[in-house]
Amino acid sequence: MRRQSSPKRTKFIFVTGGVVSSLGKGLCAASLGALLENRGLNVGLQKLDPYLNVDPGTMSPTQHGEVFVTDDGCETDLDLGHYERFVSHRMSRHSNYTSGQIYSAVLEKERKGDYLGQTVQVIPHVTNEIKQAILTAAEGTDVLICEIGGTVGDIESLPFLEAVRQLRFELGSDNAIFVHLTLLPYLPTAGEIKTKPTQHSVMKMREIGIQPDILVCRADHPIESDIREKIALFTNVALAHVIPMLDAATIYDVPLSLHESRLDDAVCELLNIWSREPQLHEWRRIVDVIKNPANQVKIGVVGKYVDLHESYKSLSEALVHGGIANNAGVQIVFLDAEQISTRGPSLLAELDGILVPGGFGKRGSAGKIEAIRWAREHEIPFFGICLGMQLAVIEYARNVAGIEDAQSTEFEDNPAHPVIALMDEQEKVTHKGGTMRLGAYGCELIQNTLARRIYGEPHVSERHRHRWEFNNAYREPLREAGLVLSGMSPDAKLVEMIELPASNHPYFIACQFHPEFKSRPTAPHPLFTAFVGAALEHAKLRGS
C-alpha cells in the first residue's frame, strides 16, 4: 500500500471529543501545542468545523461565541484565538475549515469538470478535499495538531473523522496519532466518578475505525489510579496514556497540569519525536501572577452579548494579559448596555475602567453612549474598540462638539449628521459573508499622542473586522472641538484611532481595529497593558 506523502514528514495529532460538547478540545490542543513548542518544535494548529456555514462570520456570537480574525482576513472559530495565545505560530485561512468550505470546493470542482464525469461522493471526493486541507496546513511545520469540532456520533462530523482515519492509515502510526477528549462525570448521589460515558465514546470511535492512542479525561474530581486502570482496560488504551485534565483556576495552568500528567511525553513517545524537556518557567510565572497578583482592578465591559461571555473571549483574555503585565488581578464586570439605558449609568460608579467593545446593530447603542459619556465626564479610564470607537465619536460630537444629531448610518438611514458612515466600496456590498474590512491593516501613529507613547513606534499593524468608518467630512469640526485623531491609515484616508488630550482626561482612547486578537499572556498587547495600568492608577486615587 503506497503511503500518503506529507511535508517534511510532519507529524500529525488529531484531537477529537466525545460525550458532550464544550469539553475544551481547543484548550487541550492549544496546551499540547504550547508544550511541544517549548520542546523546540515548530507547531501548527488547525480546526475542522462540521457545521455547514462557510465561516462563522454571519453567525450570532450568542450561538457560537466570538469570531476570531486572522492576519490574512479570515473569519474563524474562537478556538483559533486559543491557539494563537498558546503558541507563536500565527493562524491563517488554512487553519480553519468548515463543512461549508469543503463542500463548496468540491461542488465548484464538479461544475468545472475536474472530476471528469465521475459520480461525486463523500468518499473519496469530500474526504480527499479534507485531507488536502490538512496537508496544506501542515506545510512548514514539525507537528500539526488538528482538532475535529463537534462530538463523536454527530452525523456532520463523520466525513472529517473518515478523512483522518484514512490519513492515519496512509501516513502510518508513527506519523499520526489520535487524542480523544472525554468526560468523567462525578455523581454526588453515588459518590463516585463514572467511566461508562468514556467507554461508550471510545466504542463509537472504534465503530468508525479509529482507536484512540491517548485519552484525555475531563473531570472536576481527582481521578484515582483504579479509575484510570478501569478506563485503560475497557478502551484498549495504555494506562500511561490515560491522562487526567482537571478543572483549573486559570486556563494558563492547563499546559502545566498536562505536563505533570506526562501528556507531551506520551505524544513524543508515540510519534518517535526526540526533543528536549519543555521550558515552562514563563508559564509558571504567568500562572503565579494570575493566582497571586499584587494589585486588583475592576474593569466594566459594556456590551449587548453579555449573557454569553464566550462572545468576548479574546477581549477577556487580553484584559487578563494586561493584568499580568501590571502584576494585577483583573475583575471583569460584564454590563448589559440596555440596563444602563433603563437604570442609568450609576452601575458604572464603582468601576476603575470602562471598555466598550465591538459589535453590530443599534440595540444597546444608547446605553453604550451613556457609559462613554460617564467615563469622559467622570475621568474614568476609557477604552473603545471598533464600534466602541464609533460610539465615542458620536458621543463627543453630540455632547462636546455641539452636533446634537450626530449618528451612524448603521443605526439610521440618512441622518442629519452621519459622523460614522459606510465607505463607497461597502455601499456596493450585497452579500454579508466575508465582505467586511477584514484582517491586518497598517496604522500610522501621530507624534505626541497617547497612542504613540503606548506603542512606542510610529507604525503598527492591527486586525480589523467592521464595515462602518469615521466620516472624513467631520474630521475638522471634531478636531476643532478638541478630539485628537491619533492613528491614521498609511494613505491618511481612514481614521484608525482617537483620543482626548491629557489636559482633558487622564486616559481616554479608542481604536477602529481589534487589538485583542493579537494579545498573548507571554506578550500582552500594549493597549491593554496601558489601559489596565491607567485603571490601577484610578483605583489608587479612588482608594485614597
Which residue ranges are tagged as binding site for Mg(2+)? 79, 147
The answer to whether the beta carbons of residues 426 and 467 sit under 8 Å apart is: yes
Of 125, 241, 514, 525, the catalytic one is 514
Report how far residue 96's alpha carbon sits from residue 450's, in angstroms, rounded to the nearest whole number.
36
Of 129, 462, 469, 516, the catalytic one is 516
Say if strands 382-385 and 353-356 run parallel, antiparallel, or are unpaired: parallel
Question: Helix (H, G, I), strand (E, B), or coil: what is residue 379?
Answer: coil
Amino acid at 362: K
Report how far residue 83's alpha carbon sits from residue 522's, in angstroms, rounded to the nearest whole number.
13
Report how far residue 175's alpha carbon sits from residue 153's, in angstroms, rounded to the nearest whole number.
25
321 is catalytic: no
Torsion of CA 297, 303, 306, 309, to 10 degrees: -60
* Largest distance between two CA atoms of the chain: 79
Distances in Å between the alpha carbon of 307 and those of 242, 359, 507, 537?
A: 35, 14, 28, 30
The answer to whether the beta carbons of residues 481 and 396 sit under 8 Å apart is: yes
The answer to whether the beta carbons of residues 134 and 12 sit under 8 Å apart is: yes
- 151: number of Cβ within 10 Å: 22
Report how far residue 202's alpha carbon sits from residue 501's, in angstroms, rounded to the nearest whole number.
61
Question: Helix (H, G, I), strand (E, B), or coil: what is residue 296?
Answer: strand
459 closest CA partner among 491, 499, 418: 491
The answer to whether the beta carbons of residues 157 and 210 sit under 8 Å apart is: no
| Count of helix runs (H) and strand runs (E) in the chain | 19, 23
CA-CA-CA-CA torsion sign (230, 231, 232, 236): positive
Which residues carry a binding-site annotation?
A: 21-27, 79, 147, 154-156, 194-199, 230, 248, 359, 387-390, 410, 467
Cell output for 448: 505626541
- Locate cell 492591527: which residue? 462
386 is catalytic: yes
Phi, psi of 172 (to 5 degrees): 100, 150
Which residues carry a binding-site annotation for ATP?
A: 22-27, 79, 248
State the distance between the two ends of the chain, measured CA to CA, in whole angstroms: 76
Which residues carry a binding-site annotation for L-glutamine?
A: 359, 387-390, 410, 467
Phi, psi of 83 (to 5 degrees): -55, -50
Of 28, 386, 443, 511, the catalytic one is 386
For 332, residues 6+ apart whose C-beta sits below 8 A from its C-beta are 299, 301, 316, 319
Distances in Å between the alpha carbon of 48 and those of 33, 153, 536?
A: 16, 16, 41
486: Cα within 13 Å, side-chain hemisphere: 26
Report how far residue 165's alpha carbon sits from residue 205's, in angstroms, rounded to the nearest whole number.
10
514 is catalytic: yes
The answer to whether the beta carbons of residues 356 and 368 sit under 8 Å apart is: yes
Return the active site residues: 386, 514, 516
